[in-house]
Structure 1
Amino acid sequence: MNIALAGNPNTGKTSLFNILTDSYEYVGNWAGVTVEKKMGVLKNNLGTLVDLPGIYSLNPLSKDEGVATNYLLNEDVSIILNIVDASQLKRNLYLTLQLLEYGNPLLICLNMVDVAESLGLQINHEKLAKKLACPVIPIVARTGEGCENLINEIPDLANKKTTPFRVNYGDILEEAIEKLIDLLPSEMDLPKRWLAIQFFEGNTPVRHTLAKYIDGKELDTLYKETEAKLASKAKSLPQYIHLRRGQWIEQIIQDCVIQTKQVEKTITERIDQVVANKYLGIPIFLALMYFTFKLTFEWVGTPLSDLLGEWIEGPVSEGVTSLLQALGASKFMQDLIVDGIIAGVGGVIVFVPQIFMLFLLISFIEDSGYMARITVVMDKLMEHVGLNGKAFIPMIIGFGCNVPGIMAARTIEQPKERLLTIILTPLMSCSARLTVYALFVSTFFKKNQAIIILSLYVLGIVVALILAKIFSTTIARHEESIFVVELPPYRTPQWRSLLRSTWEKGKGFVRKAGTFILAGSVLIWLLGYMGPGGFGVKMEQSFLALIGGFIGSLLTPLGFGTWQAGASLITGFLAKEVVVSTMNIIYAVQDEAALQGILPQFFTPLQAYSFMAFILLYTPCLATVAVIKKETASAKWTWFSVLYAFFVAYLISFIIFQGGKLLGFH
């Protein structure tokens, strides 16, 4: 069986997916977190569960919403699991009605019943099931309560025959629906009444499907004639359908929901008065990020990284060296493994505790419900630069990794805003850059690590906002847009969810250590081992030094015009973590502590900050460039993203270094 999981954003859809499949997909608290359908094997091998994007309607406004409609149009769906937020029943039932009209067996997962009860809402789920003519199972997806009942209901539902749910839309529209159904071929597998209603609702993918069987002009004529007949009742056909559905939903609410008590202000509303305040919102966000970096780099993460570094430098390096000598390995092989692979990969692995600590804290912020508030706080500021608060969601995701951040831009409805978000998200400081920051701040800014790293994150955001203003008034003038985001209630995150979320975010970093960083380390070591004079040359006479020297000469005005810095930046295009690997190999060290002792010979604090700013802003990594090409489907915009980032990085680093010198810093 193919079982589709559908629902509004922030109804706990992805949490339910994780429980039902006993597997993990990325969980967040903002709209559009699942930008593509995700698939997993349902418990007890009942079938394949497909997690569709969070949507409010089957009439798609954005790319991710289009995924859901196209799935229903083109795939064989056995059962639909519709997850509904019990505390927001009125809004959620709009999608439920569209799914019921589709006609496939439907099971309603009435989630967040605990939240509804706290608001004084008592829902008679048995009565609701009779009204909707489908099973309704109360659950709390966050804790798994009621989910076993849900799984047990699926086999019975699969064997039941269902008929599409019918809402009477009035004589005029019903007549038009029947007329359109008559025009469709009898052999069509898709539910014809649902297709007709979706067509009159303005569903573009459905219209494209109907155009395969009916002349486009005939469709347009029928649509316009029907809309004209209903002009006295609504401004448009979609609005008329919305009003009719709204009346039906109101009746359902009256029959099935009782308000047992009035809650003047919830805890969520009280907290939002402070954290979403237009004056306090941004300072609170910055203070929270500062606390996050303080924990990550000074209180917890760095001590763990130091212990890991000592272990790699001591037992690991010494043990591997002894083993290679005992096996009679050649000098070349010993140097490659110890000075190349262990130095390169090990130099990055030492930052794993800091990376995982940061992801744990970010996951906590997401699952608590606070992350969605940041988009609201930022909306006014984003509006001034030609975007809206929803564009900040991909940027926040970009703090973890730019690749999923860019993919999350699919949730943005307006094409120009989506394009701007895609090309600006790489300016957000991802976890890969964090390895470089961690190395340099622990070397040059030991007493102020958190504030220095926070300044880099803020620098990325500020540069992105300035460029958004420039681009939105020149190369990509934006359309008018409406910002709508779901604000989930605040909740205490589950430790199981937090740990799985942290692992899913962090395992990509570990995986890169065994692929990109390993391959990059071997390549770097070989380039440093070979030169015009042959093999085994000094590093200063190698091909790596020649290439790095050319790049370094261009970077002299920025304060780091050495061949070592130039070589590091070239390899950073593969993955930003490889910058640290390259430095470990170039300076012939196996761990972070040794590198910290050598770097002050080549950098001053001002030069170090200029270098970190350049790492923050310059050309995106290879994986990010690839996803920009995929999402924009344009070589022009891909090259633009690569080139503008380099020039912006050069300009900002130039200002930092030359300005710092004028002010007497060094």
Structure 2
Amino acid sequence: MKNIAIAGNPNCGKTSLFNNITGANYHVANYPGVTVEKKEASVKHNGSVFNIVDLPGTYSLSPYSLEEVVARDYVVNEKPEVVVDVLDASNLERNLYMFVQFMELEVPVVLALNMVDVAKKRNIHIDVDLLAKKLGAPVVETVARENKGTGLLLDRIDDFINSGKPKPDFKISYGQDIDSTLDKMTPIVEKNDFLTDKYPARWVALKYLENDEQVHAQGALNMEVHKKLLDITDELNNHLRSTLKVTAENLIADYRYGFINSILKGVVVAEESNMDRLFLSDKIDKVLTNRLFGPLLMIAFLYGIYEVTFWASEFPVGWLETAFGWLSGIVDAGLNDGLLKSLIISGIIDGVGGVLGFAPLILFMFFAIAILEDSGYMARTAYMLDRVFRFFGLQGNSVVAYIVSGGIAGGCAVPGVMAARTIKGEKERLITILTAPFMPCGAKLPIYALIIAAFFQEHRSTIMLGITLISWLLALIVARILGAFVLKEHSSAFVMELPPYRMPTLKGLIIHAWERCWMYIRKAGTVILAISILLWVLMTFPGLNAEEEQAFESQIAAVEQNYTKDVLLEAGSDAEEVSEPASELRDKLATIDAEMAAMNIKESVAGKIGIALESVTKYAGFDWKTNIALVGGIAAKEVVVSALGTAYSLGEVDIEDSVPLAESLISKSGWTMANALSLLTFILLYSPCFVTVVAIAKETGSWKWASFTVVGYTLVAFLASIAVYQIIA
């Protein structure tokens, strides 16, 4: 099996090319010891078997971020037969920088010249054969979005491997000062076998001049050689600062770009009329990223997304509610009263069904988010908000983590927390990790949708937009507080590429939306199912004791003795139309049954916990059933909906008379607007779910910060809920 690594800058089409090669037959995991995602797949081509690995998107192989460390370590340690370096044909100068680093590392490279269609639209003409000759590496034109050139690329990779072509002698001149220093350092590295088991000798010397922290850490194991190379580096830097006002690291980057420019002369020709014209993306950006109109349009887009999402999902959500109600009716009719029937209806159907009922809403929301991501607008959001975020001690890269976490309702805090690893500054990275869970993630969305359906049906899009904006504001306020009083370090710079606008493909949108929605459904069918069953057990046992059951039996007997035998038989029949005495008897018995069911929940383990907390939570407007749901929500936020569904279902007497949970919040719990707003406030602020807490611990390397998000945020949420409830009530 031949190992093939696919590398490239962000937004160059690398992942699209990987998807074209592998189809959907790839698996995702994390690189050992880190949280960077690893996509890998095996494919057969012309009798050869390729193990394809999609490396993280990076601009260079300098270890400034975790992705760059992972990409370089994979290439160095795994030594793939070929690295496919994917280039954006419309921006070759920047993209070739990493190619130069690959060649200096003596890595076999095949170039995929991607997005040639974009280059042609910009009147940029590339002599592919001349480019391949100058670079000394095969070059294949591709258009990954349209799956063009994929087969030819695999052919060229196969030929390149089978040709047994020796590694090219690639060397760039960095000017007299640096070249003479490299000539002085390289023999020292070779003579002492200093890191040469992993890296070329000249490359090691170059990394010392570039102040590469990872190589320094590895070299420090041989302190004698390490100190000698550092002394030479310091001597050169002192000389360069006094003569050219630069460091070796800066000068090396300048010479690399100079080499790239010399390569591109005669290879890339842009029509003169093209040089001064604004491309379509630039023209759109003049409006969408305008200081005044940009943020207003962004809010308008958000509102439009919520309006369309609620409108499009209204009927599917209703159909699912009807379907789960129908399923409950079948189980009710087919099983005798008892624990099994209660478990299936209250624990599973009403618990998990309450969460799955919002799957269409989640699907349409993810579809909208995929449009923003694939079109290139998401990057503009980070660019526009960078100035705002800096005021709160963050930077534009934090916007990406917020959005992934659910900044546009529907994300997930776990990948959002992981996305913070791309932030260079330790201060901004930590603050982003700690505040990203405030976003309205996909797990919180069913709770918000439930409350909106119950109290704000006529203004659902406006309320959802308000929840989103308040979530951002709360996260930024907490970030400001953390930055001012807890974490005091200097801020880092923010650099981001704005990719050109692209028309998303329907296939890509459907795949992205369905993948995320399926994760939600799978979670409901596994984690939420298990927790729902556990909550059912806690809300069912130990139940009423013999004395309490006897008291209710006596009440029933006392009522029944006032009616004739015929009326008793009629009331117990399945007939819908009965006489007035039989109807009256049914109502009286239903009242006793409801009281018995309510008492049964109160006497359960969960009921006692909820009631114990009620002495404090009543000031925030939370009854004991809500307390059960909120405690369960610490495990997973969707459990809040499933727990409420189970709690109100266990008190249900007649399945046929049951109503959707949103209506139950008003008709059976007696909730008011004050209760609803208090709960919204609490959900906005309180502890992240358990999986997110674990992710925070892993990313920060400390359970201290993870515990802070559980205890600290829950306390703040409770105090804020009390304030909201007391003011409104």
Provide the TM-score with structure 1 as the length reference. 0.93
Q: Does 1:541 align with 2:603?
A: yes
Q: Does 1:177 align with 2:182?
A: yes
- Identify the residue that residue 702 of structure 2 maps to in structure 1: 634
- AA in 1 matched with 2:693: V
Q: Does 1:389 align with 2:389?
A: no
Q: 2:661 aligns with which of 577, 595, 598?
A: 595
- AA in 1 matched with 2:67: D
User: In the aligned structure 2, how far is the partner of 1:72 from the partner of 1:179?
Assistant: 27
Q: Which of 265-274 and 36-45 deviates more?
A: 36-45
Instruction: Specify every segment of 5 or more residues in structure 2 that has no aligned partner in the other structure, as ranges.
Output: 29-34, 547-596
User: In the aligned structure 2, how far is the partner of 1:558 from the partner of 1:55?
Assistant: 48
- Identify the residue that residue 251 of structure 1 maps to in structure 2: 262
Contact 1:571/1:582 (8 A) holds in 2:
yes
User: In the aligned structure 2, how far is the partner of 1:610 from the partner of 1:478?
Assistant: 36
- Identify the residue that residue 575 of structure 1 maps to in structure 2: 636
- Identify the residue that residue 506 of structure 2 maps to in structure 1: 495
> Deviation digits for residues 570-620 of structure 1, max 9, x if unmatched?
011111111111111100168994322221142112321221221122100
Q: Does 1:557 align with 2:619?
A: yes
Offset at residue 491 of structure 1 (A): 1.0
- Identify the residue that residue 93 of structure 1 maps to in structure 2: 96
Offset at residue 4 of structure 1 (A): 1.6
Matches within 5 A, 1:8-87: 8-23=9-24, 35-42=36-43, 44=45, 46-87=49-90
- AA in 1 matched with 2:228: E
Contact 2:27/2:41 (8 A) holds in 1:
no
Offset at residue 254 of structure 1 (A): 1.7
User: In the aligned structure 2, how far is the partner of 1:200 from the partner of 1:634?
Assistant: 34
- AA in 1 matched with 2:711: L
Size of the aligned set, in residue pairs, is 648
- AA in 2 matched with 1:209: Q
Offset at residue 358 of structure 1 (A): 0.3
- AA in 2 matched with 1:342: I
Q: Does 1:614 align with 2:682?
A: yes
TM-aligned CA distance change 1:75 to 1:180, over 3 Å: farther
- Identify the residue that residue 304 of structure 2 maps to in structure 1: 291
Contact 1:119/1:262 (8 A) holds in 2:
no
- Identify the residue that residue 462 of structure 2 maps to in structure 1: 451
Q: 1:207 aligns with which of 216, 239, 264?
A: 216
User: In the aligned structure 1, how far is the partner of 2:660 from the partner of 2:491?
Assistant: 54
User: In the aligned structure 2, how far is the partner of 1:69 from the partner of 1:126?
Assistant: 28
Q: 1:475 aligns with which of 478, 486, 489?
A: 486
Q: 2:231 aligns with which of 201, 221, 243?
A: 221
Q: Does 1:167 align with 2:235?
A: no
Matches within 5 A, 1:190-589: 190-213=199-222, 215=224, 216-231=226-241, 232-233=243-244, 235-263=246-274, 264-297=277-310, 299-314=311-326, 316-321=327-332, 331-399=338-406, 400-531=411-542, 533=544, 538-560=600-622, 562-588=623-649
TM-aligned CA distance change 1:634 to 1:22, over 3 Å: same
> Deviation digits for residues 502-536 of structure 1, max 9, x if unmatched?
12211211111121111111111111111375599
User: In the aligned structure 2, how far is the partner of 1:214 from the partner of 1:5?
Assistant: 36
Q: Secondary structure at the match of 1:142?
A: helix
> Deviation digits for residues 115-160 of structure 1, max 9, x if unmatched?
1111121111111111100011111111211122111111111233
Point out which structure has higher relative CO (alpha carbons under 8 A, 6+ apart).
1
- Identify the residue that residue 551 of structure 2 maps to in structure 1: none
Contact 1:183/1:214 (8 A) holds in 2:
no
Provide the TM-score with structure 2 as the length reference. 0.85
TM-aligned CA distance change 1:164 to 1:213, over 3 Å: farther
Offset at residue 557 of structure 1 (A): 2.2
- Identify the residue that residue 719 of structure 2 maps to in structure 1: 651
User: In the aligned structure 2, how far is the partner of 1:76 from the partner of 1:136?
Assistant: 21
User: In the aligned structure 1, how far is the partner of 2:204 from the partner of 2:169?
Assistant: 12
Contact 1:373/1:487 (8 A) holds in 2:
yes
User: In the aligned structure 2, how far is the partner of 1:324 from the partner of 1:177?
Assistant: 83
User: In the aligned structure 1, how far is the partner of 2:66 from the partner of 2:680?
Assistant: 35
User: In the aligned structure 2, how far is the partner of 1:567 from the partner of 1:155?
Assistant: 60
- AA in 2 matched with 1:467: V
Contact 2:294/2:384 (8 A) holds in 1:
yes
Q: Which of 40-49 and 422-431 deviates more?
A: 40-49
User: In the aligned structure 2, how far is the partner of 1:551 from the partner of 1:272?
Assistant: 53
- Identify the residue that residue 589 of structure 2 maps to in structure 1: none
Q: Secondary structure at the match of 1:387?
A: coil
Contact 1:340/1:585 (8 A) holds in 2:
yes
Q: CA RMSD in A?
A: 2.2
TM-aligned CA distance change 1:87 to 1:26, over 3 Å: farther
User: In the aligned structure 1, how far is the partner of 2:636 from the partner of 2:266?
Assistant: 58
Q: Secondary structure at the match of 1:419?
A: helix
User: In the aligned structure 2, how far is the partner of 1:8 from the partner of 1:462?
Assistant: 32
Offset at residue 210 of structure 1 (A): 3.1
Q: Secondary structure at the match of 1:46?
A: strand
TM-aligned CA distance change 1:475 to 1:376, over 3 Å: same
> Deviation digits for residues 312-356 of structure 1, max 9, x if unmatched?
111x2344455656xxxx822222122211111111111100010
- AA in 2 matched with 1:338: I
User: In the aligned structure 2, how far is the partner of 1:230 from the partner of 1:380?
Assistant: 35
TM-aligned CA distance change 1:376 to 1:488, over 3 Å: same
Offset at residue 229 of structure 1 (A): 4.2
TM-aligned CA distance change 1:189 to 1:378, over 3 Å: closer
Contact 2:208/2:229 (8 A) holds in 1:
no
Offset at residue 161 of structure 1 (A): 2.5
> Deviation digits for residues 539-598 of structure 1, max 9, x if unmatched?
1221111111223332222222x0011000001111111111111110016899432222
Q: Does 1:149 align with 2:152?
A: yes
Matches within 5 A, 1:99-114: 99-114=102-117
> Deviation digits for residues 173-212 of structure 1, max 9, x if unmatched?
2333243332335572432222322232222212223334
User: In the aligned structure 1, how far is the partner of 2:430 from the partner of 2:356?
Assistant: 35
User: In the aligned structure 2, how far is the partner of 1:532 from the partner of 1:343?
Assistant: 20
- AA in 1 matched with 2:611: G
Look at both structures and tell me which one has the larger radius of gyration over its CA atoms: 2
> Deviation digits for residues 446-465 of structure 1, max 9, x if unmatched?
10111111111111100111
User: In the aligned structure 2, how far is the partner of 1:261 from the partner of 1:209?
Assistant: 49
Offset at residue 261 of structure 1 (A): 4.7
User: In the aligned structure 2, how far is the partner of 1:168 from the partner of 1:655?
Assistant: 68
Contact 2:439/2:472 (8 A) holds in 1:
yes
TM-aligned CA distance change 1:408 to 1:430, over 3 Å: same
Contact 1:46/1:155 (8 A) holds in 2:
no
User: In the aligned structure 1, how far is the partner of 2:117 from the partner of 2:25?
Assistant: 23
Offset at residue 642 of structure 1 (A): 1.5
Contact 1:550/1:566 (8 A) holds in 2:
no
TM-aligned CA distance change 1:229 to 1:36, over 3 Å: farther
Offset at residue 110 of structure 1 (A): 1.0
Q: Which of 279-288 and 349-358 deviates more?
A: 279-288
> Deviation digits for residues 424-480 of structure 1, max 9, x if unmatched?
000011011111111111111110111111111111100111111111111112423
